[in-house]
Each structure stands twice: as structure tokens, then as C-alpha cells.
Amino acid sequence: MKQISEKLGVIQNLGWLDRILRAIAGAVLMVFALDALSMNADNATWAYYVVLVSIYPLFTAMIGWDPLYEAMTVKSCGLSERNPCGTFPFEVDAALGHHPIPRDDINHSLENSRHVKK
């Protein structure tokens, strides 16, 4: 199965820690808002907006690409050998020190890489 970012043709600009923090923040916002909506709270219209806001960090964490980072030419990945840009499994494998080497410059996925023993 191809990654969403490969289908969209984007180059990832989020590191693994950034992706984890975004996923946690988006999930917390989503749960908080859905909990307020499930209790039928009075004036819970704010919760609908929070649900919409929580979609952004969840979606960017999934695909590993942030359009705001792209506009500002910022990357939270590729800063070191242990934080390369790529799919989430590729980034975690590199963070663990397994030194994956991608087969090409575009597809940085773990299944399309090889490892170097150091």
C-alpha cells in the first residue's frame, strides 16, 4: 500500500517527534470536543470548531507534511542522521540508530530501504 504522501506527490517536512506531538495534540483536542458534544452541553458550538481545528494536526501528522512549514521553508526532519525525512517507520528506524539508507531520493520508506551496519 502506497503512503498518502507518495500519492499526493509531496516531500515530507515533519520529523518523527513533531509527528507524534501533532498526533497527540490533535487526538486530545478531538476527544475533549467530542466529549463536550456527547454531554449535550449548552453552548457547545465551540466544540464543533475545536473538532475542525483538531483535524489539521491529525492530518499533517499522518502524511508527514505541513503546508505552513512548506510556505516558510521550515523542516523538522533532515536535521541530523537520526532524524531524516521519510515515512514514520523510516524515521523511527533511523532514530533507533539502525541507519536505513533509502533506495532513491524520493521514496524514503522502510520497506524500500536497506540497512548499513556500523
Cell numbers that stand for 6 in this block = 507518495
Q: Where are the domains of the chain?
A: 4-115
Give the per-residue pLDDT at 1.
Answer: 42
CB 23 within 8 A of CB 61: yes
Give the per-residue pLDDT at 13.
Answer: 86
Give the per-residue pLDDT at 84.
Answer: 72
Give the per-residue pLDDT at 94.
Answer: 76
Cα gap 14→20, rounded to integer Å:
10
Give the per-residue pLDDT at 6.
Answer: 53
Give the per-residue pLDDT at 50.
Answer: 92
Q: Which of 20, 1, 10 is nearest to 91 (CA)?
A: 20
Cα gap 34→28, rounded to integer Å:
10
Give the per-residue pLDDT at 91.
Answer: 74
Positions in the chain short of pLDDT 50: 1, 5
Cell numbers that stand for 28 in this block = 486530545
Cα gap 54→25, rounded to integer Å:
8
State pLDDT tens for residues 62-79.
888 899 988 998 888 876
For residue 115, the cross-strand partners are 100
Give the per-residue pLDDT at 104.
Answer: 58
Q: Which of 117, 116, 113 is nearest to 102 (CA)?
A: 113
Give the per-residue pLDDT at 56.
Answer: 96
Q: Which of 66, 90, 55 is nearest to 11 (CA)?
A: 66
